């Protein structure tokens, strides 16, 4: 397995590397380990969030798999933050930034230590694209393992139920005791948020991309299946090393098309648009852009009746077989590229060959001839408000067209206060600006305002547009990722209260219904605000990050 020690041999072979070996004996190396391929295990374990509180144990399982297959596993940590905890606060500005910190840290440790391969284990939203970006940059044999989904809370609740309960409490629909009961019981233990929110969306997309083992995206966080997934992932990396299969051999344009197809069929999060473009950029797939979501979405229906727009949770999809029967259905219909290579060393078609269909009695995943929506729910909108594009999540339940009157806010907190104080009425378009990659900085997710809208009973009656992002838990008539962002002088910056705005998800249009001469005059008088941060990681991100339409990448 000499070729499989391409990097570690440079660190530990020969008499001149005696000091390196001496440093490794205290951390558990034995003499025979120095002749084995070294595989780094990037663990996102942390007690800051239930999404990741169990991942240290999963890392131990991956180490067992590596060691049993003839390698030497070495566990190291990278960070995680919690969107759910920081949502609606200034701290949420660090969320997207954490994607880059995770990628940078994995690249840094693996590159420094000379690991020959990598297993990356992630649970919360930004862990997953961060891990994949890191693996793509390194381009050493590697695999991603999803930490798994959480169990439903009492009365089929989850984290979004709590956010929406805040709006219900503000509307006197529930009392303080009922709010506290939901708060205490909605999140019962380890695992990522339970609907088809960003974590489960990205896990499913990464599996369809070929970077996880089959069904890794559809396993409970605390289960024998997930433990076994980690052991098998450790073993699989040794096979990838033996065959010299690297991430960028797997992450091709066709593989990204597979990932987009699956996440559309599942009704996945708008964040996937941002992350898929960023992952593709890291993998050298420069052709992927936001318009590919429109191209692919014309032919791919929404089939999954999953939260937030539907009624089921990921744990219930797991019970009927997970995502593999869905992928087999899409493959048989000619909607997936079956010849794409995966981390098993086999093609997508080979992995799915013996997968059995869902039982007829289930109604979580619809058939192709009876879809929830005949084409994609992810809409790339353009118009004078979004010359470089914006991303909407329109399932059709909230309608396909909205024209309303703007009410403008310069930050998320101002909008939330207005919603909770009944200042928003039917027919309003809530405009939240200066929340983009540079303006926020960091593109905060607007789950608190959108959940408050739902809790207030205004879902479908108002719209919300922003240069920030939306949580995977958001539903309703919402448009995010508006580019150019307000901070960079996009038209969003000069929308005024009372202006009419059109959102047309059939013709993919986002338009400020104001004469162009008036818009031009407003822009000549617009002055860019001072940046919110001038030092530290947020300032670095604001300076380096490209637009949302380019994945907000920092490379």
For residues 151 and 54, give the distance between their C-alpha atoms in angstroms, rounded to a whole number: 14
How would you write 351-416 as a 3-class SS string? HHCCCCCCCCCCCCECCCCCCCECCCCEEEEEECCEEEEEEEECCCCCCCEEEEEEEEECCHHHHH
Where do the DSSP E strands lie in 420-524? 428-432, 463-466, 477-483, 500-504, 509-512
Give the contacts of 503 (CB within 8 A, at least 6 positions apart): 381, 392, 401, 402, 403, 429, 463, 465, 477, 479, 509, 510
For residues 35 and 435, give the distance between their C-alpha atoms in angstroms, rounded to a whole number: 51
For residues 485 and 23, give the distance between their C-alpha atoms in angstroms, rounded to a whole number: 49
Give the contacts of 340 (CB within 8 A, at least 6 positions apart): 210, 250, 252, 254, 255, 258, 347, 348
Nearest CA among 374, 347, 325, 291 for reference residue 217? 325
CA 314 to chain centre: 15
For residues 129 and 143, give the distance between their C-alpha atoms in angstroms, rounded to a whole number: 13
CA 299 to chain centre: 23
Active site residue 471: yes
Which residue among the candidates 471, 517, 547, 549 is catalytic per the annotation? Answer: 471
To the nearest 10 degrees (0 to 180), the angle between helices 55-68 and 224-243 is 40
Do 200 and 307 contact (CB within 8 A), yes or no?
no
For residues 452 and 469, give the distance between their C-alpha atoms in angstroms, rounded to a whole number: 16
Strand 72-77 to strand 117-122: parallel, antiparallel, or no bridges (unpaired)? Answer: unpaired
Exposure string for 393-431, b = 16+ CB within 10 A, e = fewer? bbbeebeeebebebbbbbbbbebbebbbeeebeeebbbb
Do 481 and 274 contact (CB within 8 A), yes or no?
yes
For residues 357 and 197, give the distance between their C-alpha atoms in angstroms, rounded to a whole number: 24
Instruction: Enumerate the β-bridge partners of residue 40.
Output: 74, 118
Burial class (CB in 10 A: 0-12, 13-18, 19+), 549: buried
Q: Where are the alpha helices (DSSP H) in 266-311?
A: 271-282, 291-297
List strands edge to edge, sheet with 38-43: 72-77, 38-43, 117-122, 142-146
Q: What is the DSSP letter of 16?
A: G
Peptide bond into 484 cis (omega under 30): yes
For residues 413 and 6, give the distance between their C-alpha atoms in angstroms, rounded to a whole number: 51
> Three-class SS of residue 472?
coil
> Which tokens go with 349?
């078609």
Residues designated catalytic: 471
């Amino acid at each position: 397995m000499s070729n499989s020690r391409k990097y570690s041999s440079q660190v530990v072979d020969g008499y001149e590397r005696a000091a390196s070996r001496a440093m490794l004996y205290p951390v558990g190396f034995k003499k025979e380990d120095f002749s084995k391929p070294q595989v780094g295990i990037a663990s996102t374990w942390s007690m800051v969030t239930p999404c990741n509180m169990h991942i240290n144990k999963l890392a131990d399982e991956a180490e067992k798999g590596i060691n049993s297959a003839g390698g030497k596993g070495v566990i190291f940590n990278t960070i995680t933050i919690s969107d759910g905890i920081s949502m609606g606060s200034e701290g949420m500005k660090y969320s997207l930034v954490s994607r880059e910190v995770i990628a940078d840290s994995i690249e840094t440790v693996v590159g420094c230590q000379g690991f020959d391969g990598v297993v990356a284990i992630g649970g919360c939203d930004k862990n997953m694209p961060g891990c994949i970006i890191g693996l793509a940059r390194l381009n050493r044999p590697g695999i991603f393992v999803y930490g798994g989904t959480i169990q439903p809370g009492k009365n089929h609740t989850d984290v979004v139920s709590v956010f929406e309960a805040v709006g219900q409490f503000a509307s006197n629909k529930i009392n303080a005791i009922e709010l506290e009961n939901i708060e205490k019981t909605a999140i019962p233990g380890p695992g990522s948020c339970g609907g088809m929110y960003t974590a489960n969306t990205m896990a499913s997309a990464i599996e369809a991309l070929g970077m996880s083992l089959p069904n890794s995206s559809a396993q409970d966080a605390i289960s024998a299946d997930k433990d076994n997934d980690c052991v098998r992932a450790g073993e699989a990396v040794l096979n990838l090393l033996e065959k010299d299969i690297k991430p960028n051999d797997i992450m091709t344009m066709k593989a990204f098309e597979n990932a987009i197809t699956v996440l559309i069929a599942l009704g996945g999060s708008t964040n996937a648009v941002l992350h898929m473009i960023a992952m593709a950029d890291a993998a050298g797939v420069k052709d992927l852009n936001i318009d590919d979501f429109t191209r692919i979405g014309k032919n791919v229906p929404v089939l999954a009746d999953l939260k937030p727009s539907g009624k089921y949770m990921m744990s219930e999809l797991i019970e009927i077989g997970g995502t593999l029967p869905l992928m087999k259905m899409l493959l048989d219909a000619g909607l997936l590229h079956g010849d794409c290579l995966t981390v098993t060393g086999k093609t997508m078609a080979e992995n799915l060959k013996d997968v059995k269909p869902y039982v007829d009695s289930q109604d979580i995943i619809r058939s192709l001839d009876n879809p929830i929506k005949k084409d994609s729910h992810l809409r790339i909108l353009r118009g004078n408000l979004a010359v470089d594009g914006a991303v909407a999540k329109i399932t059709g339940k909230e309608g396909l067209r909205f024209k309303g009157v703007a009410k403008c806010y310069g930050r998320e907190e101002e909008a939330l206060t207005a919603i909770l104080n009944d200042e928003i009425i039917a027919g309003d378009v809530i405009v939240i600006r200066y929340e983009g990659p540079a303006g926020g900085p960091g593109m905060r997710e607007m789950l608190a305002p959108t959940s408050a809208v739902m809790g207030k009973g205004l879902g479908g009656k108002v719209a919300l547009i922003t240069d920030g992002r939306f949580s995977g838990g958001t539903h309703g008539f919402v448009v995010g990722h508006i580019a150019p962002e307000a901070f960079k002088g996009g038209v969003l910056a000069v929308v005024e209260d009372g202006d009419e705005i059109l959102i047309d998800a059939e013709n993919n249009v986002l338009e400020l219904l104001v004469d162009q001469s008036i818009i031009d005059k407003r822009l000549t008088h617009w002055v860019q605000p001072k940046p919110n941060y001038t030092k530290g990681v947020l300032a670095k991100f604001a300076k380096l990050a490209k637009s949302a339409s380019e994945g907000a990448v920092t490379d």
